[in-house]
Amino acid sequence: MTLLLAIVVFSCVFVACQTAPQDQSWTEDVVSYSGFQLWSATPRNKTEREFLLKIRQDYELEVWRESRSDNRPVDLLISPDFQTELKLRLADAQIPYEVKIADMQTEINNENPNITDSGTEFENRFTTRFKRYMAAFISFIPGHKMDWNSYHRVDDIYGYLNYLADTYPRLVQLVSVGSSYEGRPLYVVRISSSSSGTKPAIWIDGGIHAREWISPAVATYIIQQLVEVADNERLLRNVDWYIMPVMNPDGYEYTHVNNRLWRKTRSMTGSRCRGADPNRNFGYQWGGKGTSRDKCSEIYHGSNAFSEPETRAVSNFISGKANQIQVYLTLHSYGQYLLIPWGYAVEYPADYNEMRDLAKAAASKFRRYKYTVGNSADLLYPAAGGSDDWAKSIGIKYSYTVELADTGRHGFILPASFIQPVCEDFFPALEVFVDKVATIKV
C-alpha cells in the first residue's frame, strides 16, 4: 500500500513538473540580505532633503519610502559595504536617522515562521521546488490550505479561489483574464448574488508590487469574508465585487523563492535586468515623473504603456466593465495612506473634495491603524503610469491607492503575526464604499 501511494504521488509530481509555469527561479541564485540594514532618516529642511537625494544617487541606494516635505522620514536600504561611510556622512550633515532593521536577512527569516524551512540552502530550495509540485497534486484534493496566520504562495491562493468557485457556484465565479509572462493564470474573482451583472461594482486588486505580501493577504481575506461569512451578506445585496488578489504572480512567486525584496514583473527586457514596474506601466501619463527608462531601475516603466501582459490583461478586463465598476481600490504597502489621484503630478481632479470626503469616511472606520488621506503626489511623490490614475482616467470615479500597514518599523517585511490585525481593521471600511456605490445606477 505504501509503495502504491509513493508511485501515485511520484506520478502526480511528475505531471505537475510538466505543467508547472516555466520560470527560471530554480536555476537562479537566492539573494541574501545578510548585513543589510533599513535606515530611516528625517530631513528637516530643503538642504537636508537635497543632501539625502545626493547620497541616494551616489551610492545607488534602494528607497523604500520617499518624502517630499520636511520632518517626514526617508527609508533607505543600506548595504553593509556603505554603512560605516554613510554613518559619518549623516553625522557630519547632522541629519538624524534611526536603524529600523539591524539585519534584513534575520527579519526576512523571522517574517513567516509557520512555513520557514530549515537546512542548507540547497535543501531548502529542493524542498521549495518539491512543495510547488506537490501543491499541484494537492489541488486535486477537495479543500484548501489558506489561512491568515501566514503568508501563502501563489498555488495556495489559487487553490483557495478554485475551492470557493467549486463550493459556492451561485456566488463565486473565477475568471481567468489572461496569463502572466511566465504563463501563470491571472485570476479575478467575481462575487455576486445575481447572475445578471447589472449591479454597480467594486474592484479590488493586490500584489501589483511583488514584495508587498500583506496586499494579497488582505485581498484574500476580503474574499473570504464576503463569501464564507453569512453576516456579510448585506455587502452583496446591491453591489458586485471583482477582486484580483495577485496581479503580479510571477514576481510574487519569485519573492518566495529567490529574492524577497523583488518588486517588478519577471518579463525579459533585452538586458541583464528583468521586469518592469507594473504600477508605472498603465497607459495614463505613461513615462512621466517618477518613472525611469533604465531597465534595471525599480521604477522602470516598461518599453511602452501596457507592455506587460499582466497590466494589459487587467486593463482589457476593467475597460470592458468600466460602466459597472464604480470604485477602484488597489492595495499596496506600506505607510498607512488612502491616496487620491492624480499621482502623475501634484494635480487634483475636479471632484477631489468628494473623493477625499469618501476616503476620510472610510478611514474613520479604522481602529487599530490610523491612515492619512490625501493626494498621492503631494503626500508621497509623483509617479506616472499608476493603475489608480488610469482607472480614474477611464471614468471610474472613486479610484484610490491604499498603502497598508505599517508606518516603517517593518516596512515590506511585515511579520505574519500582523496579517489578521491588519485585515480585521481594514474590512469594516468597505461598508462605506458599499453604501456609496449602492446608490449609483448603472
Quick check: 153 pLDDT over 50? yes
Confidence bin at 6 (pLDDT 50/70/90):
very low
Residue 171 has pLDDT above 60, yes or no: yes
**Strand, coil or helix: 78:** strand
Distance CA(394)–CA(397), nearest Å, equals 9
DSSP class of 289: T
Q: What is the pLDDT of residue 118?
A: 38
Q: Answer whether residue 84 shows pLDDT above 80.
A: yes
Q: What was the pLDDT predicted at 260?
A: 98
Say which range, 60-69, 331-340, 395-404, 431-440, has the weakest mean pLDDT. Answer: 60-69
Active-site position among 66, 107, 308, 403: 403
The predicted structure's pLDDT at residue 127: 52
Is the pLDDT confidence value at 440 over 80? yes
**236-265 mean pLDDT:** 98
What confidence score (pLDDT) does residue 195 get?
75
CB atoms within 10 A of CB 297: 15
What share of the chain has pLDDT > 70, as a percent? 87
Query: What was the pLDDT predicted at 70?
Result: 86
Helix (H, G, I), strand (E, B) or coil at 327: strand
Burial (CB < 10 A; 0-12, 13-18, 19+), residue 311, is buried
Let me know if 403 is a catalytic residue.
Answer: yes
pLDDT at 177 over 90: yes
What single DSSP character describes residue 418?
G
How far is the C-alpha of 64 from the C-alpha of 73, rounded, in Å?
10
Torsion 317-318-321-327 (CA) sign: positive
The partner residues of 133 in beta bridges, in order of sequence, read none
Residue 424 pairs in a beta bridge with none
Measured in whole angstroms, how far is the alpha carbon of residue 365 from the centre of its chain?
Answer: 22
Residue 11 above 80 pLDDT?
A: no
* pLDDT for 130: 55
pLDDT band for position 3 (cuts 50, 70, 90): very low
Whether 117 has a pLDDT exceeding 50, the answer reads no
Average pLDDT over residues 312-327: 97
| pLDDT tens-place string over residues 19-55 | 344 555 555 789 999 999 999 999 999 999 999 999 9
Rounded to whole angstroms, how far apart are CA atoms 388 and 398? 9
Tell me what the mean pLDDT of segment 215-228 comes to: 98
Instruction: Give the residue-averaged pLDDT of 65-91.
Output: 93
Q: How high is the pLDDT of residue 144?
A: 87
Q: Look at residue 125 in the predicted model and tell me its pLDDT.
A: 52
Give residue 17's pLDDT: 41
Compute the mean pLDDT over every residue in the chain, rounded to the nearest whole number: 90
CB 171 within 8 A of CB 189: no
Query: What's the residue count for the chain?
Result: 442
CA distance 308 to 95: 40
**What confidence score (pLDDT) does residue 20 get?**
42
Q: Alpha helices of 229-373 — where are they, by DSSP H? A: 249-257, 309-319, 352-363
pLDDT-derived band at 345 (thresholds 50, 70, 90) equals: very high
The torsion of the CA quartet 250, 107, 413, 269, rounded to 10 degrees, works out to -30
C-alpha cell at 145: 490550505
Question: Does an H or E element contain 402, and which?
Answer: strand 398-404
In the prediction, which pLDDT does 21 show? Answer: 47
pLDDT band at 199 (very low <50, low <70, confident <90, very high): very high
Q: What's the mean pLDDT in 307-320? A: 98
3-state SS of the chain: helix, strand, coil percent to 5? 40, 15, 45
